[in-house]
Amino acid sequence: MSDFFNPGPPANSTDPGGHKANHDINEKKLHTEGVRGFWRQVTDLLIGLAIIALIVIVILWIF
């Protein structure tokens, strides 16, 4: 059994098939979604702030 102080044997990280599959999945995701840009992060932030503001308004309206 492994824990923090005794992690056990190292994992086999030399799996070329697994590495290629991971690379292919990441490449397909990059081509379909694109890079997360500044404007996408800004809109996500504004949506989050709007949800928090709505919750605060509802709580203030109830009490």
Q: Label residue 34 left, alpha or beta by phi (over 0 means left) and psi (-120 to 50 means alpha).
A: left
pLDDT at 27: 86
Mean pLDDT per 10-residue section of the chain, whose length is 63 residues: 61 73 86 75 94 97 90
The DSSP string of 10-54 is PP----HHHHHHHHHHHHHHHHHH----HHHHHHHHHHHHHHHHH
pLDDT at 13: 60
pLDDT at 35: 67
